């Protein structure tokens, strides 16, 4: 039987890479993506392929560019013959008060964190409709459900992702295509790990204290989620067991949004 294909945007590190590994381990051929095009990107695809014995390709695409977002989907479809699962993960962050927020940063965050998902979804749906099945999984955030100060663009984009998720789900509900969002809290990625020393210095705290009292202040478990846990949630939503789950969000946030 021909393997199904998954496309994961922003997937050369962190949650995206974890999701790519999880889908490959589940037997999917995978297209991974970022905006760079170095030897290390293609080597990463080869590494995933060899580890999980599936086909994996790296496709460069700038997710701030709508045309490149759509081209990513078409290239993956040309290579593998279908796009069965789409994981919209690409995202960036910037922190500043609203009245000091650089316009170019706002535009970039909205483009990469929200508008890219519109373009990739619009391009993937015809392929999913043709095959009679599809799964769209949007990586949102606890900030899609809760706000924090100084993150106006990120919070706006993630709230928008949840709205897009619901709308798409309703539009394709009778096509055996589902659309859901995952809302992680703090996940221990290399990017988050790199922030810890700065937080230790800023708050004059040791590592354990700054993690517990500053970074994980809102997560009731006082533990980071892991990329493997997010990846496993992606695989579940892509499975037949999740066929009647659509238009909703799953929080993987250690209880952040329970309060």
pLDDT given for residue 132 in this prediction = 97
User: In what helix (H) or strand (E) does residue 6 lie, and over which residues does it extend?
Assistant: strand 5-8
Q: Which pLDDT tens digit goes with each residue over 117-155?
A: 999 999 999 999 999 999 999 999 999 999 999 999 999
pLDDT given for residue 105 in this prediction = 97
Q: Which pLDDT tens digit goes with each residue over 7-42?
A: 999 999 999 999 999 999 999 999 999 999 999 999
Q: Rounded to 5 degrees, what angle do the CA atoms 62, 229, 22 make?
A: 60
Active-site annotation holds for 154? yes
pLDDT given for residue 259 in this prediction = 87
Are 57 and 6 contacting, i.e. CB atoms less than 8 angstroms apart? no
* List 28, 58, 154, 186, catalytic entry: 154
H helix intervals, the chain: 14-25, 39-52, 66-80, 103-110, 116-131, 152-171, 190-203, 207-210, 227-238
Q: Which pLDDT tens digit goes with each residue over 74-126?
A: 999 999 999 999 999 999 999 999 999 999 999 999 999 999 999 999 999 99
* Right CATH for 5-187+225-258 from 3.40.1740.10, 3.40.50.720, 3.90.470.10, 3.40.50.300: 3.40.50.720
pLDDT given for residue 138 in this prediction = 99
Terminal Cα distance for the chain, rounded: 46
pLDDT given for residue 195 in this prediction = 87
Q: Which pLDDT tens digit goes with each residue over 164-195?
A: 999 999 999 999 999 999 999 999 998 888 88
How far apart are the C-alpha atoms of 66 and 13, rounded to whole Å? 22
- pLDDT value at 1 more than 50: no
């Amino acid at each position: 039987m021909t393997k199904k294909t998954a496309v994961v945007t922003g997937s050369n590190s962190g949650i995206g890479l974890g999701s790519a590994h999880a889908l490959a381990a589940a037997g999917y051929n995978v297209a991974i993506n970022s905006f760079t095009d170095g030897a290390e990107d293609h080597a990463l695809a080869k590494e995933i392929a060899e580890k999980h014995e599936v086909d994996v390709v790296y496709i460069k695409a700038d997710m701030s560019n709508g045309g490149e977002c759509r081209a990513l989907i078409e290239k993956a479809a040309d290579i593998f013959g279908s796009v069965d699962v789409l994981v919209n993960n690409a995202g960036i962050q910037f922190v500043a008060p609203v009245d000091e927020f650089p316009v170019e940063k706002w535009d970039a965050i909205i483009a990469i964190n929200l508008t890219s998902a519109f373009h990739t979804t619009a391009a993937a749906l015809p392929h999913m409709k043709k095959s009679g099945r599809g799964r769209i999984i949007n990586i949102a955030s606890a900030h899609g459900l809760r706000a924090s100060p100084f993150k106006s663009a990120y919070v706006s984009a993630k709230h928008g992702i949840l709205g897009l998720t619901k709308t798409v789900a309703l539009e394709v509900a009778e096509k055996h295509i589902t659309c859901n969002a995952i809302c992680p809290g703090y996940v221990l990625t290399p990017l988050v790990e790199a922030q810890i020393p700065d937080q230790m210095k800023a708050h004059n705290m040791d590592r354990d204290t700054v993690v517990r009292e500053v970074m994980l202040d809102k997560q009731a478990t006082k533990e980071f989620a892991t990329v493997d846990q997010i990846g496993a949630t992606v695989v579940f939503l892509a499975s037949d067991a999740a066929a009647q789950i659509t238009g909703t969000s799953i929080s993987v946030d250690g209880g952040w949004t329970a309060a």
